[in-house]
Chains A and B, each alone.
Chain A
C-alpha cells in the first residue's frame, strides 16, 4: 500500500511546470535554477509582456556551464532540450542592454515526461478502459486550449498595455501642445513688439 502511494506521488512530481511572470528592472539580470535528472525533457517558453521593444536576452546553461541556448533581444521563444546530465540547469534573463525600460517577462518551464500525466493518479495499477482513455485525451486537448489561452492572454495584455500607454501619451501631449501654442503666441507678440521698441530707441 505504502509503495503504491510513493509510486503514484513520484509520478505526479516527475512532471511539473512552473509559470512565472516577473518584473525585470532596467540593467537587471534574473536567473532561475532547476535541478534536473538525466534524460528529462524540458520545454522552456518565454514572452516579454511589456516594456521597451518587448525584447530580452536569455541564456540557458547546463550544469557544466555549456550553453544550451543563447539569444539576444528576443520577444518570445520556445526551447526544447533534453537534460544530458544530472544537475542544476540555469536560465538567465538579462535586460542589461536596456538602460531605462523595465520589462515584464512571462516564463513557463515544463519538465518531465508529459506522458506521466496519463499514468494512474489513484492507487493501484490497472488497464485503462475506453472511457478512461477518452477522458485522458479530452484532458490533453483541454490542456492545449489552456496553453493557447495563456498565449492569447499575454498578447492581449501586450496590446492593452500599449493602448493604455498611448492613451496616456495622447493626453499628456495634448496638454503639452496647448501650453506650447499659448506660450509661443505670447512670445511672438512680445518679440515683435521688442523689434519696434528697439528701432525707436536707436533712431
Chain B
C-alpha cells in the first residue's frame, strides 16, 4: 500500500479568489480523501439583522455576495413581502427578473473565465471576461452599480428602465448571444476542454440528490431542480425549464452553465418584450410579524433566507443558507479518485462562493 501524505489545498491558492481550505489525503498523486474547512472570513451578517430595521437589511443582504448580490436582495425582499402580505406590481416583478438574469449572466461568464484559467486556457479566460464586461455595463447603466445594484427593496424596485433603454438592450441581445454561442462552442466542443473535464469529479444523480447538491452541481448530474420553476418574480409568466445534463462530471457542470447563459439571454429578451406598464413599487406599512422560508435560484443554486419577525421593526432572526454551503458535501465526494493536478478544476466546478458561505 502506498504511503499516504496530506497536502493542504488553500486557503490561499492561485485558482481561489476567496479562502477555503481542503486537506487532501494522497496516495502518490491520487486523492483518497478530502477534508474541507471554512470560516476564515465569517462576518456574522445573520446577527446584524437584529440591529438594522427590516427595510435597511436589504442593503446588508445585498452585500452578502458581490456576484449574486441582486438575488440575495430579491430573496430577502420576497420573504418580507410574503410575511407582510405585500403584492408587488407586475412591472417590478419583470424588472427584478431582468436584473436577476443579468446577475446570472455575469456570474456564469465570470465562472467560465475562472474555469478556463484553472485549465490553463488563458485566451478563453480573457474572452469570457470580455463578454462579462458588457453585462456589467448594462447593470451600471440601468442601476448605477456594477457589483451592488441597490435597486431591490421591500415592495418593489427603486429604479425603472425606460422604454428607450429597454429597446437598446433588446437590440444588443442578438449580437451578444452570438458572441456567447461562439464562446460556448469552445467550452462544449473543444477537444482540449473535453479531454480535461470529461469523467472528472463524477457524482451520480442519486448521490447529488441525497447529498443536497444545489444549482448546476445538481443539474449537471441529472437532477431537474431549479427554483425559477416555482414562478417567483416573473418566471411564472415567462415560463421556464431547467437546463439539465446527466454525466455528473466537470464537463456536465460546465455545459449546464454554458446553456444557462443562453437561457438567461432568452429570459431577458422575453421579459423586455412582455414588460407591463404601471408602478414599480407599493408603499409598505407596518412591521413583519411571522416567519417564512424564502427561496430563490442564484447562479450557484437555491438560496434560502429564513426570516422571522416579531412585530417590531427589527427581525428576530435571519438565517441564510447559501448554495455553496450545500455543495460542500458533494465536493467532498467528488474529489476522491482525482489526481492532485485536477483538484483545482474539480473544486472550481462547484463554483465556490466563499463570501456567500461566510455570510
The answer on A and B forming one complex is no
Question: Which A positions have Cβ atoms within 8 angstroms of B?
Answer: none
